[in-house]
Amino acid sequence: MYESILTRRGGMWVKWSGEFESFTTEPHRELNFTSGKAFDTLTFRLTKAEYEEGYHQYIHQGLWPVFHQRPDMAHFSTSSQIGYMKLNETYTRAISEYAMPDDDIWLQDYHLIPSIKMLRDAGLINRIGFFFHQPFPAGQSFESVPNWRYLADSLLCADLIGFQTTHDMNNFTAWVESRFRCERQTPYTLRIHGRQIRVGVFPVGIDTAETSALAESNSCQYMEQQCRETLPENLILSGGHFDDSTGTPYRISAIEVLLRQHEEYHHKFSMVQLASAASGYSHRIKELSRDLETRCGEMNGVHGELNWYPVSYLSNHYSHEELCGFYRAARVALVTPLIAGMSLMAKTYVAVQDHANPGVLILSQFAGAAEQMQGALLVNPYDPYAIADAIHTALIMPLSVRRERHASLLKNLHLHDCHKWAESFINALQPREQDFDLTLKSGALISNGFSGRLRY
């Protein structure tokens, strides 16, 4: 996504090279600058300690559970916190060395929260925007992070903080107002510690043109053909990583409810659960995989027959093209995470559908995408009966209704793609004499040109 945005807008992408340094101390870390036709790239190596302790442990085993409303599952340690801070110091040094005075700096997600304050401490007065791809926790959950005060101080050094949904933004502003001496000047402007901070809602979109083109690839068409030839006509596709927020157990329970309520569906459908390993979640994969195998086995043992299994799961890694083949073959996409910042799978499913015979999207009401995708069947992901009812509704939905819903969803995807997301955020980061509705949905954010360099 970032490459597509930068190709169109220009700028600089600051990122990890994917390689590791052999040393453990910091005297002279090499920065690799590459000048491209459309945009520049600045890369660097990380130490294994920064990657394992800062990325896998602190971010995925600590911050991830907190931001997904499971602080009871978070694991923090002194070593992981040190790794996280060193990771941010590395990004800060790279940005500081190449930043020009008129550059806008755009930091992405909770991986880089400390970098905001570190950049200010390094003397940078550039406009800094920060975007949360993850949902922001409600109440005081954020304070369960051991060094939450430093992270909060860092966030309050930003000029603009963006969120996926209005709900996430409200969680943040309510917490800030309750914890700090803060003046709410407008719905989107806070004054705290003597400076003004703006907040806004900017739902991430996909590159609809690029995604739609995947449907024409050989890999996509081959996978679609394989699905149609080997699976029942009504393929119910469920995706997601192995983590604690995907809601897989409730989906499997929903299939059992469906079969008990509608015996006519025996042999008429198959639910395929695509369950790949989540980044940084290796500490839970074996346990979650074993649980999923057990649930599928019990389901198929009770309801399956010699030549038909209602539920199966695939843990293989598939390319984007192959995944699109699954999406096109699926009559129903079951995207029901317990909580999610956005859910780009839902948007991708809609983008690659056959316009003449589209499938039906069933979407969790707690996914960030639900605010935009009202044409989907929205469900409570904790309620197997509601999910089962939605599956039944999707399977009997007339073609004319499916087309109408798909057309509405697709129109929204085109209006709010990844380029609109970037344009809106960067436009909102520019100085304003007065506040305005900082929501992507409003259509009020129109780019007036951008000459700085994007920072990720």
Terminal C-alpha separation, the chain: 12
Q: What is the CATH number of the domain that holds 101?
A: 3.40.50.2000
The answer to whether the pTM exceeds 0.85 is yes
Any domain includes 220: yes
Mean pLDDT of 170-180: 95
* 338 in Cβ contact with 381 (< 8 Å): yes
293 pLDDT band, cuts 50/70/90, is: confident
341 pLDDT exceeds 60? Answer: yes
Any domain includes 456: no
Mean pLDDT of 104-113: 97
424 pLDDT band, cuts 50/70/90, is: very high
By percentage, how much of the chain surpasses pLDDT 70?
Answer: 92
Q: What tens digit of pLDDT does each residue of 115-165 get?
A: 999 999 999 999 999 999 999 999 999 999 999 999 999 999 999 999 999
Q: Are both 101 and 31 inside the same structural domain?
A: yes
Using CA atoms, how far residue 122 sits from 81, 111, 125, in Å, is 21, 19, 9
Q: Are both 339 and 437 inside the same structural domain?
A: no
What stretches of 339-454 show up as alpha helix (H) in DSSP?
344-351, 384-396, 399-415, 418-429
Q: Are both 131 and 273 inside the same structural domain?
A: no
Whole domain around residue 143: which residue ranges? 2-205+416-442
Q: Give the count of beta carbons closer than 10 Å to the beta carbon of residue 60.
A: 21
317 pLDDT band, cuts 50/70/90, is: confident
Average pLDDT over the chain, rounded to whole? 90
Any domain includes 448: no
CA dihedral defined by 110, 111, 116, 118, rounded to 10 degrees?
A: 140
By percentage, how much of the chain surpasses pLDDT 90?
Answer: 79
Q: What tens digit of pLDDT does each residue of 70-102 get?
A: 999 999 999 999 999 999 999 999 999 999 999
Q: Are both 323 and 240 inside the same structural domain?
A: yes
**CA pair distance 232, 221, nearest whole angstrom:** 18
pLDDT at 23: 65
Mean pLDDT of 27-37: 84
Using CA atoms, how far residue 38 sits from 96, 132, 314, 385, in Å, is 22, 26, 38, 50
**CA pair distance 64, 180, nearest whole angstrom:** 24
27 pLDDT exceeds 70? Answer: no
281 pLDDT exceeds 80? Answer: no
Name every residue whose Cβ is closer than 8 Å to that of residue 140 and which is 6 or more positions away in sequence. Answer: 175, 179
Any domain includes 453: no
Of these ranges, 16-20, 214-218, 377-381, the one predicted with the greatest mean pLDDT is 377-381
Q: Are both 131 and 217 inside the same structural domain?
A: no
What single-letter DSSP state applies at residue 340?
B
Q: Are both 302 and 342 inside the same structural domain?
A: yes
Q: Are both 421 and 411 inside the same structural domain?
A: no
Any domain includes 315: yes
Count: domains in the chain: 2
Q: 61: which 2 tokens?
A: 């085993």
pLDDT at 378: 98
433 pLDDT exceeds 80? Answer: no
pLDDT at 444: 25
Which of 132-141, 161-170, 305-314, 425-434 is predicted least confidently? 425-434
* 409 in Cβ contact with 376 (< 8 Å): yes
Any domain includes 151: yes
What single-letter DSSP state applies at residue 136?
P
Neighbouring C-alpha atoms within 13 Å toward the C-beta of 221: 4
Beta strands 332-335 and 311-314 are unpaired
Using CA atoms, how far residue 300 sits from 238, 287, 310, 313, in Å, is 17, 20, 6, 12
351 pLDDT exceeds 80? Answer: yes
**CA pair distance 87, 110, nearest whole angstrom:** 12
450 pLDDT exceeds 50? Answer: no
pLDDT at 280: 53
Beta strands 189-192 and 182-186 are antiparallel
Look at residues 156, 243, 164 and name the one whose alpha carbon lies nearest to residue 198: 156
411 pLDDT exceeds 70? Answer: yes
Neighbouring C-alpha atoms within 13 Å toward the C-beta of 370: 23
* 11 in Cβ contact with 424 (< 8 Å): no
Any domain includes 449: no
Q: What tens digit of pLDDT does each residue of 365-410 get?
A: 999 999 999 999 999 999 999 999 999 999 999 999 999 999 999 9
Mean pLDDT of 24-41: 82
